[in-house]
Structure 1
Amino acid sequence: MRRRLPRATVAMIALVGTTTTSLAVTSEVEAAATTADTQLVAAMKDVPEFGGAYVGTDGALHVWLTKPTATGAGRARAAFAGATTVVVHRADYTFAQLKGWHDRLAGLLGKSGVTLTDVDDRNNRLTVGVEDPAATGKRVKASLALLGIPPAAVDIVTATPVTPTLRDRNRPLRGGVLIQYAATNATGQCTLGLPAIRGGVFGFVTNSHCSSVRSSVDNGLYWQSTRAAGNSDLVGAEMVDPPFKTGGTCPAGERCRLSDTNFVRADAEVAVGRIARPALDSTTWNGTDTFRVTNAFDTTVGNTVQKVGQATGRTQGTVVRTCASRTVRDTNITLLCQDLADYTSADGDSGAPVFEITNSPSTNDVKVVGIHWGSSVIDNRLISTFSGWRFILPELGFLNVCAVGSC
């Protein structure tokens, strides 16, 4: 949601992102899904009237304040690193109120028909997504009353559950290309996300659901580009795939994770820090043009992101939500604190790298912000979902995804 996170938040992420023992924070994972919003509340403690913020199409930071004053606007500006132009709007609710109410909504996830809950930074409201408003809307409204949440503070929208999305041989391995894996009685197709180094081991990141057994280390094999070629196209085996968690911030009856990712040990050369660079809205690629990864961090509501996936190629969109909890179709799986954007995606794009271009297209440097894993329809728009970088690290451990000498 934030264009640049408050300094207190940035400091915390820097610590997580630089430790080589990130798995040691496993005891904090249950609470991590709420830290983005929790830390924002803490960072804005000196601006109690703060109601949220987002980056507008005008490039300005738009801030909600229940009592718009020059003093409040100044404090908000100071709290956001890099903010120059600030536009203030009158808020109906403080962000702390919305965050507290959102915590109460956790129990709705996993209930039949409820697919999304979120603090809507752009509209100073909460959002509850349901498959069928006519069938589920009344039940949600009744729950709001029982939870002591003002109905006027909640927008109920149509949102289907996220459906996980499952081309030429290329070496070394770059992000965005087709991979195949051994699924149950079949061969699955996904996208190689990010070439990476983990604890001295070269490999790559893709989706956990692009493996033989989701959220379980199954040592499943991967091919690029086709399994039919046998061992000549064998490129790796799964090495890290964290288990689901229950309890804590995970809704009752659900199995939760913070990211749909795993780490695959590579048995072929990988080009760490390189993502395939086809033309925008194209799957055609000459096999050599790449983006160079120079950073990995969080994104913000309103920012422009791109993804490269083997099914729909390179597409672009705007981040519409951050840290939203999402259910997975036909499962009892909830992924906490996921990011949503309106770029085009389809089956086979699962695992695709999601990034922001950070400088002139002539050098094509990018900041990785996450890994794509699915799409759904929200208010009659196709919206793609990706796991944010901040929550990939505590699950997979420290990853070096940058090109040599770039970060």
Structure 2
Amino acid sequence: MIPYRPSAAGAVLAIIALALTAAPATAAPAQAVPREVVQAATVEPPPEVLDAMRRDLGLTREQVITRLGNEEQARRLQPKLRAKLKDRYAGSWVNQEGSLVVATTDAAAATAVTAAGAQAKVVARSLATLTSIKGALDTTAGQGALDAAAGKGAGRKVPVWFVDERANTVVVQALDTAAGEAFVAASGVDRAAVRIETITERPVTFQNLRGGDAYYISGGTRCSIGFPVTQGGTQGFVTAGHCGTPGLTTSGSGGQSQGTFQGSSFPGDDYSWVAVNSQWIARPAVNPYGTEMVPVFGSAEAPVGSAVCRSGSTTHWHCGTIQERNTSVTYSQGTIFQVVRTNVCAEPGDSGGPFISGYQAQGVTSGGSGNCSAGGTTFFQPVNEILNAYGLTLSTVSTQCAGHPNHHFNELTAHQGSFGNLIPDAGIYPPNGFASAGAGTHTACMDGSGTARMRLSLQKYTCCGPFGTPIWVEVATTGTGTTLKSLTTSQPAGTYRWVVSVSDSIVVPTTPIGEYYFLGTTSPA
């Protein structure tokens, strides 16, 4: 028998919960805009859009309607003016009322801009010039020239740069002025065209710790996260002892710094735990490499013969049964005692990954024999022993919604929209709907830390739109405002689906992107 030695080959990247935030704006006093633009702003927006813009932008209902109408006119007018100005075009934006402002390097062209219904601004540099400067900075960063000019690691001090069309310049945001100056100098661009700003924080992505995701030890070998845990105010995860020793560092997908091994025992035992930095959040979930997460409710020990499943970064999700407890197994490095033998397959890189029975954590993958093509035997180290050894607390789901036959556990995600916005995604369960053969009562319950901003709805399938596109009609909803959502509705026979959504039309600081929610549902057969 040999332990699973992780390998970097075939690594599966961990999923990033990205939240993009944007600072809310404060409305300025209304200003005169072209008459035809204001008259176009007569369409009532959806309630969710209206409410979110009133709340987050500090606008009145009338200002929201006017602004959306003006922005629609701006979207139509902007490409026409850009095409007309050609190399004299220097950028465009909308003001707080949504009216279009177009910059040009030609004072004579300003009259044509104004006549078309936009506001004109005459500037020194064309957008093509600014874009070229920004491109030179991109090239410098990609080639590592900044580190060469300002010393190793200097590139990390310049996290952001962009074209500021309103100011007709390129902005470099750096942690200190010297690093910003070195970056600009290394690129060889016109220093007068660049504004250097100092910032005190670095943009980071916040990543979820989930059982089964890959992690890398000291930048080399790969193992799998077992179960997220906490020790006091410190977050981390348990994993296999043979994956690392105290002091070794770990990284996540893309090489992002993650944590440090705090304790490890191997051989004799095969367990360890890693404390992570503030960019990582311990989630009570196992990644089954599907569309949803598996929640962790606790760590009650399952009897021999129980079904058990395992997640790992090499072979992902596999199941089998517990064959024997209190097993001793000898690897080339020595003997491991009191592990659990299973007929679940595993392969190198799956080491440290979670074993779970139902919603109860069982242990972390140690080693075994065979593979997931021909089958094999795998041993796991019981998780409760690890928790007791290091004084750790297992991250678990606490929910009031578990008393339903159907469970869904997932995180709120978003996708890239127009103008660089992130648009929240709806959670749909099940994706293709479920059939209810007769009339009856549908009930659902949803909770989670971010659910005050979410809605829970039941939709009914009706056929069909153009080209056979299915149409789903909302028949019941909870609205927003409370953390715990309950929905009960009587409906006729048909095909239905549950939908989790948020009131925000784009991602703003309070949108709960990355937050997990638990949904329990009961419906007629």
- Pairwise same-fold verdict (TM > 0.5): no
- TM-score category by the smaller chain? 0.3 to 0.5
Structure of higher RCO (CA pairs closer than 8 Å, 6+ residues apart): 1
Please tell me whether Structure 1 or Structure 2 has the larger radius of gyration of its CA atoms.
2
TM superposition score normalised by structure 1: 0.37
TM superposition score normalised by structure 2: 0.30
